[in-house]
Amino acid sequence: MLPIALALAIITMAPVDGKDSAVPLPAVIAHRGASAYLPEHTLPAKALAFGMGADYLEQDVVLTKDSVPIVLHDIQLDEVTDVAARFPDRARDDGRFYALDFSLDEIRALQVHERSDPATGMARSPSRFPVGKSRFAIPTLAEEIEFIQGLMHSTGRQVGIYPEIKSPRWHRDQGCDISPIVLKVLAEYGYTESGDRIFVQCFDQVETRRLREELGTRLPLIQLIAAPPKSGDDPHATLVTEAGVTRIAEYAQGIGPAYNRIVVSVDVNGEPVFSQLVEWAHRHDLAVHPYTFRADVLPAYSADFDGLMDLFLNCARVDGLFTDFPDRTREFVDRHVRR
């Protein structure tokens, strides 16, 4: 029997030079859809990523006041919607507008826009889709899955989904247990087994283990690993040790580290220095899917986007990556990845 991580990787095999490849190519994971081109997590952004050839489409999931899972990166609404204009008196004491304080009907009334600074209204990435142009909405998790499955039906092309359970501890502190709600929706749309075309991800290592051991899911799990903080304690420091990776392998099928957990520094010549994280993960048959690769935000050690992908796909040999630019990543994987 093939290990789960390898079996899932084989799903993404693509022809190379017109011949079938015997070795799986890395997975192109559309980070919040084709988010370099359209407002993140909108259905048009997912449709564009699908058309660009992504292997997986990501869904960040939070809850509404009426416990409906919606696809939204933050637990707050104000950076990507017009909530402050439509419901100005609904902010909490910190001045933020939380999805959990709004019913689904109220959230359906909001318009989504490119991510912007709530204080100024200025786009976080000015070169991306113009703020306030056209009309976009927040989908429910069920609506998005139906949309993706509809695309698969009409085109005959198969893709995977990649939901993230956001802030489970915060949701529980607010009286809502998000994980079983999300698993229920996934099951309703046929995602229940280890071989299904899905990864479920979470930053909270206690919750990720709980998905497997307490909630009993058989779905492939990814333990997300946050970037190291600029100062103070590192809550994920133990996860990027050999012992930490060994523990992750007890309940998950892969890791999703920030890419500066893999390239951890540069040497005196400006060359990247790699950690042993990928080596340790592969030793335990864990897939490695780092995040987030953006052509418009490059690290100092990379002169261009292709060079950055070459570094991670051909040198570090990761098994897939999260990208805001699924078209450019798809082209690079198909043309330049050496396996």
Grouping H, G, I as helix, E, B as strand and the rest as coil, residue 57 is strand
pLDDT of residue 66: 98
Residue 241 in domain: yes
Residue 266 in domain: yes
Residue 242 in domain: yes
Transcribe 185-231 into DSSP letters: HHHHTT--STTSSB-EEES-HHHHHHHHHTS---S-EEEEEPPPPSS
Length of the chain: 339
The residues, any chain, with a CB within 8 Å of residue 105's CB and separated by 6 or more, are: none
Give residue 18's pLDDT band: very low, low, confident or very high (50, 70, 90): very low
AA letter at 296: D
Q: Give rounded-to-5 percent helix, strand, coil for the chain.
A: 35, 20, 50
How far apart, in whole angstroms, are the C-alpha atoms of residue 296 and residue 123? 14
Q: Average pLDDT of 138-158? A: 98
Q: Average pLDDT of 19-42? A: 87
pLDDT of residue 338: 81
How far apart, in whole angstroms, are the C-alpha atoms of residue 14 and residue 35? 24
Residue 55 in domain: yes
Grouping H, G, I as helix, E, B as strand and the rest as coil, residue 257 is strand
Residue 122 in domain: no
pTM of the full predicted structure? 0.94
Q: Would you say residue 4 has pLDDT above 70?
A: no
Q: Average pLDDT of 170-182? A: 98
Instruction: Give Cα separations from 220 to 45, 129, 153, 235, 245 (angstroms).
Output: 25, 33, 23, 24, 16
Contact 38, 44 (CB under 8 A): yes
Q: Residue 313 is part of which domain span?
A: 4-75+138-336
**Taking all residues of the chain, what is their mean pLDDT, rounded to a whole number?**
94
pLDDT of residue 24: 84
pLDDT of residue 2: 36
Q: Average pLDDT of 5-31? A: 59
pLDDT of residue 305: 98
Number of domains in the chain: 1
Residue % of the chain over a pLDDT of 90? 92
DSSP bridge pairs for 293: 323
Question: Which has the higher per-residue pLDDT, 92 or 14?
Answer: 92
- Digit-coded pLDDT (tens) for 280-327: 999 999 999 999 999 999 999 999 999 999 999 999 999 999 999 999
Give residue 7's pLDDT band: very low, low, confident or very high (50, 70, 90): very low
Give residue 81's pLDDT band: very low, low, confident or very high (50, 70, 90): very high
The residues, any chain, with a CB within 8 Å of residue 225's CB and separated by 6 or more, are: 203, 236, 239, 240, 255, 256, 257, 258, 261
Residue 186 in domain: yes
* Strand duo 287-288 + 254-257: pairing: parallel
| Cα dihedral 212, 214, 216, 221 in deg (nearest 10) | -20
Tokens of 188: 């309703």
Beta-strand ranges (E) seen in the chain are 27-30, 56-63, 69-71, 160-165, 200-202, 221-225, 254-257, 263-266, 272-274, 287-288, 320-323
Q: Average pLDDT of 29-54? A: 98
Q: Average pLDDT of 155-163? A: 98
DSSP bridge pairs for 273: 265
pLDDT of residue 23: 64
Q: Would you say residue 13 has pLDDT above 70?
A: no
How far apart, in whole angstroms, are the C-alpha atoms of residue 181 and residue 192? 14
Residue 323 in domain: yes
pLDDT of residue 20: 45
Residue 124 in domain: no
Q: Which residues are part of the catalytic machinery?
A: 31, 73
Instruction: Give Cα separations from 236 to 55, 172, 181, 239 (angstroms).
Output: 28, 21, 26, 5
- What CATH number does residue 28 fall under? 3.20.20.190
DSSP bridge pairs for 123: 116
- Digit-coded pLDDT (tens) for 196-218: 999 999 999 999 999 999 999 99
Give residue 3's pLDDT band: very low, low, confident or very high (50, 70, 90): very low
CA angle 121-127-131, nearest 5°?
Answer: 35
